[in-house]
């Protein structure tokens, strides 16, 4: 009570007796009633609600967790369903554009850098294991050493059947993590400190770096252009041909941007179609860089192999991204809205978007090295 009085004196906050309860454990009835009489608080009983959640001195039962799960589910439904990305929405409709495993890879490896919960959770559990291995100065580490492991090393330790849930989980995962250690030292970082993201990468399997990632995800391109380019490079856009393959019903399989009456494939739409060829030529004319449209993947490889300044490569990749985006947009407008987007309109829009982007990034270090090319694109 003295502490509470001191707290009130310092902060000006008073405990409201009507709303306050005291929870007592391990005291006899006599002491209990004396404490209650002295404090003036009423006697509280478990389970109580704290911050909207049930609070209990015992382990939660499944049913008690439901409130929490319902709340989280509701929050996800209301707040995030509106913001679900293109990838997420398509996942919802059960048409996976790109395999989930691949979506979870880092961008430099060709993925979208979305963290897969199961593997991220494993990597996080790995942090607990590391704390045990390096015998980190923490009460719980001391406790598991003293009570569970005693003289065992973690690798030889067999958790007792009646040990707690978390201890059995850590032990179940340790074998998978053993290869990250050499003589007790964590080998995935230089300083030996644990890194959840490094472990996560090890769990999903170290794939060779995808060298075109820097061009696909360049900051020079608008985010929506980057994402679409990423899909096209994977050959994962839902063209009419792909829909047929996925056994999705389509009325008309012909390309709607030209009069050739050929199947709308990735190759046709982004390489051979007259519509994109016209836009492509205009871009060649604008940049005064002659690039052949030999398929987006090959074009990017070609850009990557040029002896240009880095930023010029990024600008050229961004132009490719813009061409692809506007081709797909024109296709969608034609197919679903019945509106015809002329190539001139798209060309003007691409130039406008690229110039705005250049203006935004013109003071960056890499842009200064590329001044002449930028000057040309801004004025011509």
Which member of 129, 132, 273, 315 binds Zn ion (CB under 5 A)?
Answer: 273
* 190 φ/ψ angles, rounded to the nearest 5 degrees: -70, -40
Residue number with CB closer to Zn ion (14 or 344): 344
Q: Any contact of residue 256 with Zn ion (CB under 5 A)?
A: no
Q: Could you tell me which stretch among 55-63, 224-232, 255-263, 321-329 binds Zn ion (CB under 5 A)?
A: 255-263
Cross-strand pairs, 21: 42
Is residue 210 helix, strand or coil? coil
Interface region with Zn ion, contact rule CB under 5 A, candidates 122-130, 270-278, 289-297, 366-374: 270-278
CB closer to Zn ion out of 273 and 358: 273
Judged by CB under 5 A, the residue of 87, 133, 228, 255 near Zn ion is: 255
Contact pattern from residue 318 through residue 357 relative to Zn ion, giving x for each residue in contact according to CB under 5 A and a dash for the rest: ----------------------------------------
Place of tokens 């300044």: 309
Collapsed DSSP state (helix, strand, coil) of residue 237: coil
- State in angstroms the smallest separation of the CB of 123 from Zn ion: 46
- Considering beta carbons, is residue 257 or 283 the nearer one to Zn ion? 257
- Give me the count of residues in the chain: 380
Q: Find the shortest distance in angstroms from Cβ 348 to Zn ion.
A: 21
Q: Which residue's CB is nearer to Zn ion, number 258 or number 361?
A: 258
Candidates 204, 232, 257, 367; binder of Zn ion (CB under 5 A) is 257
CB 257 → Zn ion: shortest distance, Å? Answer: 5
Q: Which of 216, 225, 219 is nearest to 322 (CA)?
A: 225
Give the three-state DSSP class for 323.
helix
Q: Which stretch binds Zn ion (CB under 5 A): 83-91, 217-225, 232-240, 257-265?
A: 257-265
Q: Min. distance of Cβ 233 from Zn ion in angstroms?
A: 20
Q: How far is CA 243 from CA 68, 96, 252, in A?
A: 40, 12, 11
On the 0-12 / 13-18 / 19+ scale of CB atoms within 10 A, 199 is buried
DSSP string, 330-342: HHHIIIII-PPPP
Which candidate, 39, 29, 33, 64, places its Cα nearest to that of 49? Answer: 64
- Rounded to a whole number of angstroms, the minimum distance from the CB of residue 235 to Zn ion is 17
Should residue 279 be labelled a site residue for Zn ion when binding is judged by CB under 5 A? no
Segment lying near Zn ion (by CB under 5 A), choices 13-21, 129-137, 201-209, 272-280: 272-280
C-beta closer to Zn ion: residue 107 or 335: 335
Q: Is 258 in the site for Zn ion (CB under 5 A)?
A: yes
Q: Provide the token pair at 91.
A: 């996942």
For residues 366 and 311, is the Cβ–Cβ distance under 8 A? yes
Q: Which of 330, 312, 298, 285 is nearest to 368 (CA)?
A: 312
Q: Give the interface size with Zn ion as a residue count (CB under 5 A).
A: 4
The phi and psi torsions of 344 (rounded to 5 degrees) equal: -55, -40
Binding site for Zn ion (CB under 5 A): 255, 257-258, 273
């Amino acid at each position: 009570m003295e502490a509470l009085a001191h707290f009130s004196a310092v902060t000006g906050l008073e405990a409201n007796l009507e709303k306050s309860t005291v929870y007592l454990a391990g005291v006899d009835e006599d002491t209990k009633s004396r404490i209650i009489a002295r404090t003036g608080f009423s006697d509280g009983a478990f389970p109580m609600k704290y911050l909207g959640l049930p609070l209990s001195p015992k382990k939660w039962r499944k049913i008690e967790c439901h409130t929490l799960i319902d709340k989280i589910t509701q929050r996800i439904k209301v707040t995030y369903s509106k913001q679900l990305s293109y990838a997420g929405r398509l996942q919802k409709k059960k048409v996976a554009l790109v395999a989930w495993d691949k979506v979870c890879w880092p961008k430099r490896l060709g993925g979208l850098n979305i963290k897969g919960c199961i593997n991220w959770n494993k990597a996080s559990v790995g942090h607990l294991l590391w704390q045990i291995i390096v015998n980190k100065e923490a009460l719980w580490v001391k406790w598991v050493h003293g009570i569970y492991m005693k003289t065992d090393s973690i690798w030889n330790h067999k958790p007792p059947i009646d040990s707690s849930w978390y201890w059995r989980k850590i032990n179940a995962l340790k074998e998978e993590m053993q290869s990250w250690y050499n003589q007790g030292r964590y080998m995935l970082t230089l300083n030996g400190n644990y890194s959840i993201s490094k472990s996560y990468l090890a769990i999903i399997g170290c794939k060779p770096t995808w060298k075109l990632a820097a061009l696909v995800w360049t900051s020079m391109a608008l985010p929506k252009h980057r994402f679409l380019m990423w899909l096209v490079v994977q050959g994962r856009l839902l063209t009419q041909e792909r829909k047929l393959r996925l056994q999705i019903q389509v009325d008309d399989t012909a390309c709607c941007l030209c009069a050739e009456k050929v199947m709308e494939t990735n190759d046709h739409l982004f390489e051979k179609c007259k519509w994109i060829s016209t836009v492509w030529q205009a871009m060649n004319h604008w940049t005064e860089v002659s690039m052949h449209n030999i398929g987006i993947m090959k074009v990017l490889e070609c850009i990557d192999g040029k002896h240009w300044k880095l930023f010029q490569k990024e600008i050229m990749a961004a132009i490719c991204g813009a061409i692809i985006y506007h081709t797909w947009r024109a296709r969608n407008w034609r197919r679903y809205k019945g509106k015809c987007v002329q190539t001139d309109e798209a060309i003007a829009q691409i130039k406008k978007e690229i110039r705005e982007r250049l203006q935004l990034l013109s003071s960056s270090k890499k842009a200064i090295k590329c001044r002449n090319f930028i000057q040309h694109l801004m004025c011509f």
